[in-house]
């Protein structure tokens, strides 16, 4: 029985149990996440919708190891994140996950290729090897012809493709997307979501997206909705 249980749990990329988070405002304690539990199987596209103030950004930040939880459990590929050391958090952010932001966060004076290569250079890879891998990933996202362009020479959709390329260059297990289509028109948004689907189906990456867009919020393999710090499947 125990062996079967362990085998079942190992199939979850994300396994969250009884997660809580509060913030202090003067003498007030404001609950943000209230006893949240959910599981995400391997290689799925997950969406999370909810109104502003519902707690979805806080949840994403905790899953990304940008913030810490007050209590509960977060197992990523079977390893506990709550209570981890700063060294373990750093390793987790560097090796296990990629993050795609609404506002791209590309370095304006670096080319697309150099922006994508940066995570490998920071990890100590040789420049030649990092640049070669960056060109391969840019080709994967359909931007090999823009490799030497700076961000100001790229459209919004192209910038987000560069961001996704940078997020996957180190072969993470999970990509977290923080409103990744929030600054894009509908055509570019569709293309970006197709790219995320390819990350799941072709690269075997689990993708977890926070969004305000209802259409995108219904497009995942699993669609969650958050309200008042609680989460439910839609």
What's the burial of 68, exposed, middle or buried (CB within 10 Å: 0-12/13-18/19+)? middle
Q: What is the pLDDT of residues 3-49, one digit of tens each?
A: 444 444 457 889 999 999 998 888 888 889 999 999 999 999 999 99
Please compute the mean of the pLDDT values over residues 173-198 and round it to a whole number: 90
Nearest CA-CA partner of 56 in 33, 73, 34, 31: 33
Looking only at the bridges linking them, the beta strands covering 71-76 and 79-80 are antiparallel
Mean residue pLDDT of the chain comes to 88
Q: What is the pLDDT of residues 101-160, one digit of tens each?
A: 888 889 999 999 999 999 998 888 899 999 999 999 999 999 999 999 999 999 999 999
- The answer to whether 174 touches 98, Cβ cutoff 8 Å, is yes
pLDDT at 218 over 70: yes
Please give the torsion angle defined by the CA atoms of residues 181, 119, 116 and 200, in that order, rounded to the nearest 10 degrees.
Answer: -50
Output the pLDDT for position 1. Answer: 42
Domains of the chain: 41-70+85-233 (3.40.50.300)
Output the pLDDT for position 54. Answer: 85
Banded pLDDT at 193 (limits 50, 70, 90): very high
- Rounded distance between C-alpha atoms, residue 175 and residue 183, angstroms: 18
Q: What are residue 222's DSSP bridge partners?
A: 46
Answer positive or negative: Cα dihedral of 88, 73, 46, 228.
Answer: negative
| pTM: predicted TM-score of the whole model, two decimal places | 0.89
Residue located via tokens 């969250």: 16
Output the pLDDT for position 123. Answer: 85
Please compute the mean of the pLDDT values over residues 155-168 and round it to a whole number: 93
Please compute the mean of the pLDDT values over residues 204-208 and round it to a whole number: 94
Please give the torsion angle defined by the CA atoms of residues 41, 68, 78 and 96, in that order, rounded to the nearest 10 degrees.
Answer: 80
Q: How many helices (H) and strands (E) does the chain have?
A: 8, 10
Per-range mean pLDDT, top range of 109-113, 178-182, 230-234: 109-113
Output the pLDDT for position 134. Answer: 95
- Rounded distance between C-alpha atoms, residue 183 and residue 196, angstroms: 16
């Amino acid at each position: 029985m125990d062996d079967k249980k362990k085998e079942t749990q190992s199939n979850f990329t994300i396994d969250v149990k009884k997660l809580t988070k509060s913030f202090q405002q003067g003498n007030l304690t404001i609950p943000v996440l209230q006893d949240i539990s959910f599981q995400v199987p391997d290689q799925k596209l997950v969406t999370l919708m909810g109104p502003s103030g519902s707690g979805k950004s806080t949840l994403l930040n905790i899953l990304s190891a940008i913030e810490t939880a007050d209590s509960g459990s977060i197992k990523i590929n079977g390893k506990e994140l709550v209570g981890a050391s700063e060294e373990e958090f750093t390793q987790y952010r560097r090796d296990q996950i990629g993050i795609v932001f609404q506002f791209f966060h590309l370095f304006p004076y670096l080319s697309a290729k150099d922006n994508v290569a940066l995570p490998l250079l920071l990890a100590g890879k040789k420049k030649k090897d990092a640049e070669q891998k960056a060109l391969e990933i840019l080709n994967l996202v359909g931007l090999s012809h823009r490799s030497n362009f700076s961000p100001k020479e790229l459209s919004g959709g192209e910038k987000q493709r560069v961001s996704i390329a940078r997020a996957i260059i180190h072969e993470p297990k999970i990509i977290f997307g923080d409103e990744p289509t929030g600054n894009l028109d509908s055509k570019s948004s569709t293309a970006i979501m197709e790219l995320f689907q390819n990350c799941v189906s072709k690269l075997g990456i689990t993708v977890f997206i926070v969004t305000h867009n209802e259409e995108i919020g219904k497009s995942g393999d699993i669609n969650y909705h958050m309200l008042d710090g609680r989460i439910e499947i839609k």
